[in-house]
Amino acid sequence: MIDAIRTSLREHADPARAPDMQRYMKSTMPYHGVAATPMRQVCRECFKALEFKDAQAWRQAVLYIFRNARFREEWYAAVELSLWKKAGAFRTLDASAMYEEMIVTSGWWDIVDTLAGHGVGSLLREYPKPMKRDMRAWSHSDNMWKRRTAILSQLTFKKDTDLKLLYSFIEPSLDSSEFFLRRWALRQYAWTDPVEVKRYVRENESRLSPLSKREAMKNIE
């Protein structure tokens, strides 16, 4: 499968775009220069005939692609396979360790934010009790990207967002000077409940950085 992915990526490559993409992502790993739409096409082509005998085989395939990636788009293919709709039944608590490895290894927002919102987030929906416990631990982690993942884990929940939980994940990083811990899920949640987001910003104004306040209020008239 990884050979098929590599072949398809080469066919869709745009070498003229590659240096700018690598520079934008500050990536040590090179790019083929495959944009988002053809990237999805590559994944559709390569995944359409896939079948896995069980969840372990699916996880092994995801991690094999991820661990052996030579170009960053191969990481993106591994992410897509980890979120593949046909593998929905395989996304059990055992998938958490897979997502953790990908998040910690990649250590950048293009991978982390997607996995936080759609991978880890789906586990939080399905297995709230153990995942809440794990995300609380992640929110205190020495690893910045695990902290960010905890904060973003309810990114797609909208009205189902557990605000008490969200604020408990934000709290350990509220005074952080790290750029990626100053940009949170509040900007997204503002579409759902702008009044609540304004209240939170107002009550925590002295602790929030200017960036955090701007981000939180960005989608509020």
Q: Please give the share of the chain, as a percent, with pLDDT higher than 70.
A: 100
Cα gap 15→22, rounded to integer Å: 11
Query: Where does the chain hold its CATH 1.25.10.90 domain(s)?
Result: 1-86, 91-221
pLDDT of residue 214: 93
The 3-class SS string of 56-89 reads: HHHHHHHHHHHHCCCCHHHHHHHHHHHCCHHHHH
pLDDT tens digit string along 2-15?
Answer: 999 999 999 999 99
pLDDT tens digit string along 68-105?
Answer: 999 999 999 999 999 999 999 999 999 999 999 999 99
Phi-psi region of 144 (alpha: psi -120 to 50; beta: other; left: phi over 0): alpha
Helix or strand or coil: residue 157? coil
Average pLDDT, the chain: 96
From the candidate CATH numbers 1.25.10.90, 3.40.640.10, 1.20.1250.20, 3.40.50.720, the one assigned to the domain spanning 91-221: 1.25.10.90
For residues 191 and 219, the answer to whether their CB atoms sit within 8 Å is yes
Nearest CA-CA partner of 115 in 147, 153, 142, 151: 153
Cα gap 186→124, rounded to integer Å: 18
pLDDT of residue 169: 97
Q: What does the DSSP assignment read for 120-150?
A: IHHHHHHSHHHHHHHHHHHHT-SSHHHHHHH
Q: Which CATH architecture has domain 1-86?
A: Alpha Horseshoe (1.25)
pLDDT tens digit string along 135-165?
Answer: 999 999 999 999 999 999 999 999 999 999 9
pLDDT tens digit string along 41-62?
Answer: 999 999 999 999 999 999 999 9
Mean pLDDT of 187-201: 95
pTM of this prediction?
A: 0.95
